[in-house]
Amino acid sequence: MKSVYIESSVISYITARPSRDVVTSARQAITIEWWETYRDLFYVFISELVLEEIGTGDLQAASNRLAIVETPCLWQQIVRRN
């Protein structure tokens, strides 16, 4: 199985309110479609830095972002910083 590193912008696109900006809205739609359709075909992982980044900011938004990474494929596969 191939692996994919997920950065914080991917998680943000999935959980953010729909954007009015055409480019951002398209990125959100493409990201959500990939996440729902192809995510299970890959070994998906994040880094500790991504975990820190998605846990900051607006409390409700951070909670939504952190909920996404609680899936077993992400939460248990965190790349540790040295």
**Residues 15 and 68 sit within 8 Å (Cβ to Cβ):** yes
Instruction: Provide the total of helices (H) and of strands (E) in the chain, helices listed first.
Output: 5, 3
pLDDT of residue 70: 79
pLDDT of residue 40: 86
Mean pLDDT of the chain: 87
pLDDT in tens, 19-55: 999 999 999 999 999 999 998 898 888 888 898 999 9
> What is the residue extent of each domain of the chain?
3-79
Instruction: In whole angstroms, give the CA distance from residue 2 to residue 66.
Output: 24
pTM: 0.81
